[in-house]
Structure 1
C-alpha cells in the first residue's frame, strides 16, 4: 500500500500544479485585454528645449512642477546651469525612448486595474532632477513622476561615491519594480508594526503584491536582488528561518531588528562573520514573502482580502515550511 501512495501523491500534486498554471494563464489572458490609455510625457525633454516664448505654455501644462515662488527668470536661468544641462543630457542619452519601460508600466497598470477596479490611470511624467535614491519614483492618485537620473545604470559616473549595494538598484530594470512597490504600499493595510514578525509579514505582502502585478519580472528583480543574491537566499532559507526561531526573534520588539534584516544594507547582520559576509541585505523580506506565499497557497482567500489580514493570522495559518 505504501508503495502506491507515493505515486498517487505526486500525481495529485502534478494535477493541482497544472490546474493552478492553467488558471493563472487564463487570468493573464484576461488582463492582457484590459485597455489602458496613457502615454509617458517627456517633461525632461520639453524642459530641455524650452524658450522664453514657450515657457508659459509648459508651466500651464505642468503647473505642479513649477513652484509659484519662482518667476520665469529663475527657470530660464536654471536651463543655463551646467549641472542641470548635464542631468538633461545624460537622461535623454540613456532614455532616448522608453519603449520597454512603457510596455512594462502599461502591463503594471493593466494588472492594477484587474485586481483593483477602482484604479484610475495616472499621468506618467519623466523629469531630469538630482539623483535621489531614497525617493526614486513619486506616486499620487493622479500623477506618477519618474526622475530618470535614478535609473542610469550602476556604473554611471553620477553614482560615484554611492555605496555599491545602493548603486545596484539604480538600473533601468528596477523602474517598474519601484513603481509597483509604491502601489503595494498604497493598497496594503499598514497597521502599526510592533514585532519582527509584523515587519516580515508586511514586507511579504508587498512582495506578493509584486507577484500579482508585475509577474513578468523575475523573483530576484522583485527583491532588487542579483540572481546570485536570490540564489543565496533560496539555498539558505532553512538556516535563516532556524536562526530567527532559535534566537526567538519573531515576537521580539527590538527596534534594531529591521536595520539588521529588513532595511537596505550591504548584507544582513546575523553577527556571524562568514554568514554576514555572504548574505545579501534585507533577507527578512525574502522570508516574509515565502510565509505569505504559503498562506495564499494553503488558504482559500482572495488577494485583496489577504492585504488586510493581521500578520499573526497569516503566520498562524500559513503552515510555512522553509525550503531545504
Structure 2
C-alpha cells in the first residue's frame, strides 16, 4: 500500500487558489455585456476561450452573435448561479483539500505541472473540465443528491448521489490524472480497462491517504460491502466466461461504465463493479512489487505484466 508521506514542505509550493470565473461572468452588467466581456477576456484569456468553445459551445468573441448567446446563457442560468453562491460562496475548504492533494501529487510526480483551478457554471454539462494547465469545476453539478434541479432534469439516483460537495476533490484529481496519463490504443480489452481504472483509483489512494474508499470510487458503504463479499464470485465469473480479454466494447462498458448496477454480477451490485476489481488487482500488484513506484505504475501500459505479476486470485 501507499506509504506515509510528509507533505509539510510542499504545501506552500502547491497552494491552490481557485479563480472564480463563475462570479466574474455573472457579475457582468446585462446591458453592456458585449463591451464588458473584453475585460473578462483580459483576466481569463485561456479559460474564456475554453469556456466558449468546449463548455457552452457558443463560439468565440469574433462571432457576431456572441454577445447575444452569452447573455442568453447568463439569463437562463442566473438562478442556478445564485443557488451555487448560497452553497459555494467560500471555497477555502476546497482550496485546502486540493492543496494537500496536489502536494502529494508533487511528492510522487516531482516534474509535474500543477493546473490552475477555476470554477464555472456549465449548464449541467461536464462536472470537471480539464485542458492544458487548466482544471475547472462545474459547481452546479455538486449541489447534493436531493437538489431540485436534478429532480427536474430527471437524473437517476445512482448518478445524483455522487453530485455532492464531498466528491469534488476526488473528481478533480481523478480527472487530472486521467488527462495526464491518457489511455493508449493498447487499452482495448476488459482487463486493460479494469486495470487502468484501478491505477487511477490507486493514484487516489496516494493523494488522499486518509480519504474513504467510498468517495474515491463513488460507491455507497453497502455497495463496497457487496464488492468485498462478492470479490471471488466476480472474478470467477469474468474468468469462466472468458471476458477478461474481450475487445467487444459493448461488453466492456457493461462492466466499467455508469449504470445502476452491473447486471452480469447481480442487481445488488454497484455499476462499474469491474473497476473495483481492477483496483484490487493493482493493489495486489503493488504489494507484490514493492520496488515499483506510483510514477512507474502510472507509466506502465503492459497490462498483461501487471495482471500476471499481481498474484491476484481472490
TM-score (norm 1): 0.83
- Counterparts of 2:204 and 2:285, CA distance in 1: 16
Moved more, 155-164 or 193-202: 193-202
Tell me, yes or no, if the aligned pair for 1:195 and 1:252 is still in contact at 8 Å: yes
Using the TM superposition, give the Cα deviation of residue 75 of structure 1 relative to its aligned residue in structure 2, in angstroms: 6.7
Aligned to 1:292: 282
| Higher RCO by CA contacts (8 Å cutoff, separation 6 or greater) | 2
1:222 aligns with 2:216: yes
1:278 aligns with 2:268: yes
Q: Which residue of 2 aligns with 1:47?
A: 25
Task: Give 1:206 deviation, angstroms.
Answer: 1.1
Alignment partner, residue 55 of structure 2: none
* Residue aligning to 1:307: 298
Unpaired runs of 5+ residues, structure 2, are 53-59
Specify every segment of 5 or more residues in structure 1 that has no aligned partner in the other structure, as ranges: 1-19
Q: CA deviation at 1:313?
A: 0.0
3-state DSSP class of the match of 2:218? coil
C-alpha displacement of 1:143: 1.6
CA–CA distance in 2 between the matches of 1:301 and 1:169?
Answer: 32
Give yes or no for contact 2:231–2:277 (8 Å, CA) kept in 1. yes
**Aligned residue among 84, 102, 105 for 1:109:** 102
- Choose from 54, 68, 93 the match for 1:74: 68
1:130 alignment partner, SS class: coil
How far apart are the structure 1 equivalents of 2:28 and 2:216? Answer: 37
Shift of 1:62: 1.7
Query: How far did residue 262 of structure 1 move?
Result: 0.4
Change (3 A) 1:70 1:224: farther
Please identify runs of 4+ aligned residues in structure 1 that moved more than 6 A: none
Taking structure 2 as the reference length, the TM-score comes to 0.85
Q: Within 2, Cα distance between the matches of 1:214 and 1:124? A: 18
Q: 1:268: how far off?
A: 0.2
Task: State the shift of 1:212 in Å.
Answer: 1.1
Do the aligned residues in 2 keep the contact of 1:136 with 1:146 (CA within 8 Å)?
Answer: yes
Aligned to 1:45, the other structure's residue is in SS state helix
Alpha-carbon distance in 2 for matches of 1:130, 1:212: 32
Query: Deviations 1:262-308 (Å, cap 9, x if unpaired)?
Result: 011000021xxxx5221110000000100010100011211111223
Question: Is 1:156 the counterpart of 2:147 in the alignment?
Answer: yes
SS in 2 for 1:40: coil
**Count of residues paired in the alignment:** 293
Q: Does 1:231 align with 2:209?
A: no
Query: What is the aligned-residue RMSD (CA, Å)?
Result: 2.3
Structure 1 residue 55: Cα displacement = 4.2
8 Å Cα contact 1:189/1:307 also seen in 2: no
CA distance in 1, matches of 2:66, 2:248: 51
Shift of 1:219: 0.8
